[in-house]
A = this chain, B = another copy of it.
């Protein structure tokens, strides 16, 4: 077993309203920053033991499907590195 860190990034699908990001963008603009767009996402860093990269990635993807992401509104991506 090897120790891995899997990073799961969960973001809203294109077209889903994101009031938090909109508010953050407006606040930055009020502070004088110029920006074209802002999107927010959640990032989970999961430390786990697995036999190899592929097993770690599969497990993290299953965590995303079952709990971390809501497939109706979210896309997710998984990146795995050896810890």
| Complex Cα spacing A34 to B24, Å | 35
User: How many copies of this chain?
Assistant: 2
Query: Does A54 interact with chain B (Cβ within 8 Å)?
Result: no
A39's closest neighbor in chain B, by CB? B45
Per-residue interface assignment for chain A, residues 48 to 64, with 1 indicating a CB less than 8 Å from any chain B CB and 0 otherwise? 11000000000100110
| Complex Cα spacing A44 to B46, Å | 19
Contact present for A36 and B49 (CB under 8 Å)? yes
Contact present for B35 and A46 (CB under 8 Å)? yes
Contact present for A9 and B43 (CB under 8 Å)? yes
Q: Which residues of A pack against B, CB within 8 Å? A: 3, 9, 11, 21, 24, 27-28, 31, 33-49, 59, 62-63, 66-68
